[in-house]
Amino acid sequence: MRSQTLSRVTTSRAAALAALSLLSGCGHLPGGGNADARLGQNGTTPTVFGYATADEPQAALAARQILNQGGNAADAAAAAGFVLSVTLPSRAGLGGGGACIVKMPDARGNAQPPVALLFPARAPASLSGNRPAAVPALARGLLALQARYGVLPAASVIVPAERLAGGVPVSPALEADLQVVGNAITADPAAAAVFAPGGALLPVGANLVQPDLAATLESLRVLGVQGLYAGSYAQKFAAAANKAGAGLLASDIVNSAPEFTAPSLSTSGGLTTAALPTPTPGSLQPATASFSALDKNGGVVSCAVTMNNLFGTGRIAPGTGILLAAAPRPSQPAILAASVTYTANGTFRATATGTGQGAISRANAIACPRGVPGGEASCSATADPNGQGLAIGGR
């Protein structure tokens, strides 16, 4: 039990320490730069103020581009989440779920209280499949985030992921996860066709092509949430998932609504930190990933997502491109760590996320010691050097 508790504490503490180190001016990366910032960076040079972090570089780059296009933190975070479902499906997929801390100003720019957005990959009503899968929740959660807080057309936050599903180099982050699972992922024909099309697992830099996933993302872009979660689309997905042993019903998918609720709050030194409600773990943490975005108005969104297991069930719902998340065990809730710190008047100061697998934790953070808006020049960001992610921003 002690090791189980340490898993939770290590994840949360890593996120908190990352933010604190930036606030104190120690160990920061001005402008969020690192060597990976050059990967696929066309059009991401900051033209407006904003920062983004993610556990895979393309997701951070997509978020930064959305900020450049006039989007806010909610638009940018939604785009990052959709891109992660393409570029890091081992930990973030349309078949999985997650949660976000959201602190966005109102239409007049006035600071508002933080909100927790929960869209967990829950177990279906009946665990009847031979490889039980979770109810897919990621797309519904991201679309709910963008619908409530975003300023761009909803389709714009899906386009980057849809394009990358047509072909994107395998990142070091994805290759590392492929090496962990080894050839076990090739036991499913649909998964083998994606991750080992020539019979061997794709190496870093190889072209990852997911045409079925691109078609699913196109459906979401054109039809919105109904493109997966309603009527015949939900029925078709359930039928495809059950061919992979999922045990899902169309009603599971239709009823998988996200929830906006109050976060956990704590106050110290005149600062308040809003964090995701954290369940008491009964075993080691499933694999997770994270992403964050900060915009020019001090709006911030930080999210952590999971497939409830590395690569979920290891099976893809045929014809959809969606890798199925594993149905969660009651004794193994996902530990999703994300937090936002702000002043008494609501001014943003820092955000941090903690992710990992088992007891291994990584932390990404954005911090502005003088606050935003007003202290933009004080801002910096970092991606954990033990990971393969990216922090980018500035202006």
DSSP 323-364: EBPBPPPTT-----EEEEEE-TT--EEEEEEEEEEBTEEEEE
- Top pLDDT among 57 and 17 is at 57
Q: Write the pLDDT tens digit of every residue in 174-226.
A: 999 999 999 999 999 999 999 999 999 999 999 999 999 999 999 999 999 99
Total count of residues recorded for the chain:
395
Q: Span 286-302, mean pLDDT?
A: 96
What is the reported pTM? 0.91
Least reliable range by pLDDT among 54-63, 128-137, 263-272: 128-137
SS3 per-residue string spanning 27-47: CCEECCCCHHHHCCCCCCCCC
Q: Determine the pLDDT at residue 44.
A: 64
Least reliable range by pLDDT among 12-16, 73-77, 176-180, 314-318: 12-16
- Top pLDDT among 210 and 12 is at 210
Question: What average pLDDT is seen over the chain?
Answer: 88
Q: Is the pLDDT of residue 150 over 90?
A: yes
CB 353 within 8 A of CB 337: yes
Q: Is the pLDDT of residue 12 over 60?
A: no
Residue with tokens 């870093």: 204
pLDDT-derived band at 334 (thresholds 50, 70, 90) equals low
Q: Determine the pLDDT at residue 131.
A: 86
Q: What is the largest CA-CA distance in the chain?
A: 57
Q: Determine the pLDDT at residue 17.
A: 45
Number of other residues whose CB lies within 10 A of the CB of residue 113: 12
Query: 102 Cβ partners below 8 Å, 6+ apart?
Result: 74, 114, 115, 116, 117, 145, 149, 300, 301
Query: In a 3-state reduction of DSSP, which class is residue 145?
Result: helix
